[in-house]
Each structure stands twice: as C-alpha cells, then as structure tokens.
Structure 1
Amino acid sequence: MAAPDIVVPVREGVINEQLRYALRSWVTNLPHRRVWLIGSRPSWATGVEHIRTRQVGTKYANTTAAMEAACLHPEISDPFIYCNDDFFVLRRLTSVPVLHRGPVSEVERYYASRGNGRYLRGLRETRDLLVDLGHPDPLSYELHVPMPVGKQGMLAALEAGRHLDVLHKRTAYGVLAGIGGKRMADVKVITGAPGFDKASGYVSTMPDTFARGAVGGFLRQTFRHPSRYERGRG
C-alpha cells in the first residue's frame, strides 16, 4: 500500500520556522507520499503541494475550511495524515497510530481550570453535539500529534458540526467515525512548562517555546539538516 499524504493547514503572513523543522522531522520519521500545505505557503518551501484557501475567519474557521478542502481534493490520498505545522515526530514510524486524549469530560476539567475562552466553549458545544447524536461519554481526539483521517468520515463530521463556530473537528470525526484508538497524554509544550517529555515520540510547541525554550533548542539540534522541502538556508 502506498504511503499516505500529509495535510497541513498553514496560516498567512508568517515565516514559519516551526513548519521548517516539522517537515524535517516528518522526512526523517514519518513515511509519506506528498505534503500538502493548505492555506499559505512560506517562500522557502519547495517540493510541496499547495492549495490556497481564503483566510478571512477565525483560526478555527480557517482550519475547518482547510480540512474540507483537503477532503474534497481528488489528488490527496484517502486516508491522509493530518498534522499541524508545530507537530514534531521524534521516532521512526511504520504507520500512524490512532490516538485519543481520554473522555471529553476530563479534558474539559483541565481547560476549565485555565479559563473560559472560545476553545473551551467549542469543546462543550462539540460534546453536546455528540451527546445529542448518541454518544453520551465521547472521547477527545484533540491531541497535538499526527492523525489518520478518512475523507468521507471527516466530511460527515464537518457537516454535523457546521453550525458550530468552534467545532473540535478531530473529536467530532474520531467519535462519529468510531475510530477508537489508544489513550495518551498531550505533548504540547506550553509557555512556562518546566521541561518536556520525549518518551511518547512526539512533541508540539508554541511559538515562544520553540523560539526560546529548551524544546526548541532540542528540535533545532536534532533536525539540524535541511530537508528536501526547503530552499535557501539550513
């Protein structure tokens, strides 16, 4: 079976050094056929496929539009691997596992302890949608790791949650498509974190933890060699 494509939503107006090093990690550790950048494409990126999308909404609306564009594009593999531009794979994979974060109810408690913003509202509205659709205790798939996505299942999830302005689309897809999976803790290295854990084989960064944190230094050292997806400097 041919390796799947990697799909990455990319916001406009950034140089995106995190993406540069994410691509290096994928070339090293994540077997794939092609990389598709959906949205913007940094000037240094080469050898990638690109689908431009209009980015006129919130970041949640923009990434949902990117996901829909990927699912509707006939040349993108089905399934494909969905990644963000700050997902780093630290160990060689032979296939991408299905992973989840545990019950949404537990994830909700974590975010409620940090505030009550738009993301938390979207979590609750997505949970309520899934409960209404017959899933009383849904799992959360909002992990910062690569996720295998089947096109028809994702399109069905996007349609079910089209009325939500902050749809947790990974969760909606994972639950409605019944993909199951193995539980793991999230790997996002947030601002102020005392350190980071490499044991899972994945890390994800924020702009400041990548630029100035120990995790960023580790990634720049580990993936110091340019990949086939970049031109210019190493």
Structure 2
Amino acid sequence: MEDLDLVVPVRQAPANQQLRYALRSWLAHLPHRHVWIVGHRPAWLHGVGHIPTEQAGTKYANTTAAVRAACEHPEVSDTFLYCNDDMFVMEALDSMPVLHRGRVRDVEAYYASRAGGAYLRGMRETRDLLVEYGYPDPLCYELHVPLVVAKDGMLQALDAGRHLDVLHKRTAYGVLNEISGEQINDVKVLHRGPRFDRSTPFLSTMPDSFAHGEVGRVIRSRFPEPSSYELRGR
C-alpha cells in the first residue's frame, strides 16, 4: 500500500513541544507520505502542508471542523492517518494497525465512575446515534493512537452526527464503516510517575505529564535529534 498522509489538528498554543516530538516519532517509526497540519501552524514547522481553519468553537467543534477540512482538501490522500499532537509511536511499524478500546458500554461505565461532563455526554449521544443506525452494541475507537481514515467514510460519519455538539468522530467512523480491529487499553499517561506500560508501541501524554513526568522524559530521550519537520535552530 502507498504511504498515507498524516493529518494533525492543532490548536493555538505557544511552542507545542508535544507536536515536535510526535513528529520525530512518526518520522522514525510510522511510514507516511506528507504531514498536514490543520488549524494552527507553529512557526518552527518546516516541510508540512497547512490547512487553516477557524478555531472559534469548543475543542470538539474545532477538531470536527479540522477533520472535515482535511477530508475535503483535494491534496490530502484519499485515505490518511488521523493523528493528534500528543500521540507518539515508540517502535517501527510497517503500517498502522486498526485498534479499538472495546465496547462503548464498557468505556462509558469507566468514565461514568470517574466524572461526567461533555465528553461522557458525547459518548452516550454517539452510542445512541449508532444504535439508530443498526449497531446495538458498538465498539469504541476513542484511543490516543493514529487511526486510518478513508475520506468518504469519515464525511459520511460527520454528516450522520452533524447534530451532535460532541460527536465522538473516531467511534462514529469506525463503527459506521465497520473497520473492526484489535482491542487494546488506552495509552494516555495522565500522571508524572514512572508506572506506565512501556511495552506498547504507542504512548500519549497530557501537557503536564509530557513536560514534568517520567513518560515525557522517556519520549524526549528516545527522540533527541530534530527532525526534517523542524526549522534549524527553532
């Protein structure tokens, strides 16, 4: 298969060191053609495509607009890798596997036991949408790992969930396009401590755990050299 483009929604932020090291990890370990930054383009970036988008809504609305813009852009590959700027690939891959988090009902129960809020409401509303489309027990694809996305299929998922203000895009896409996949635990590391799964090819961080935690130290030590996506001296 021909290498796919990477599509990365990026919010307005000062330096975005997570993105810098994510790009280093992707260049080293995740085969791809071009990188497309959608939204804010940090000044230190080099050799990437840029699709400007307005970021006047919630973070959920902004990322939905970014994904739609990428799907509608003629130069982005018809199938692409949907990434976030806090996703790191720690081992060399021949291609990106299809991964999911298990059943939505189980993931929903986990979040319901911790807190509510817009994210949980969006999960429930996305589940209800998928039930209406004939998927009574859908899988959850809300993992902090890259996701292989076909433009047409994602646009259909976004249109199906257009009325939801917190659409779980990855889940809607994965279920409606019946991509199946292998179940893993989410790889997001929320804390500063040393206890996290180091056997997985994937890691993800919060700004604090990246800047001040052991997981950030591990990632920075693995990728100390600037990549070709960084302007020299920036």
2:45 is paired with a residue whose SS is: coil
Shift in alpha-carbon separation, 1:151–1:97, aligned structure 2, 3 A: same
1:1-234 to 2 correspondence within 5 Å? 1-191=1-191, 195-233=195-233
> Which stretches of structure 1, 4 residues or more, deviate above 6 A after TM superposition?
none
Instruction: Give a deviation string over 1:93-150, Cα, whole Å, max 9, x none.
Output: 1111110000000000111111111100000000000011110000000000010000
**Contact preservation (8 Å) 1:90, 1:198:** no
Instruction: Give a deviation string over 1:201-221, Cα, whole Å, max 9, x none.
Output: 000000000000000000110
Instruction: Give a deviation string over 1:176-233, Cα, whole Å, max 9, x none.
Output: 0000101111000013665221212000000000000000000110000100000144
Shift of 1:54: 0.3
Structure 2 unaligned blocks of 5 or more:
none
How far apart are the structure 2 equivalents of 1:157 and 1:217?
37
TM-score (norm 2): 0.98
1:81 is paired with a residue whose SS is: strand
How far apart are the structure 2 equivalents of 1:32 and 1:233?
25
TM-score (norm 1): 0.98
Q: What is the aligned-residue RMSD (CA, Å)?
A: 1.1
Structure 1 unaligned blocks of 5 or more:
none
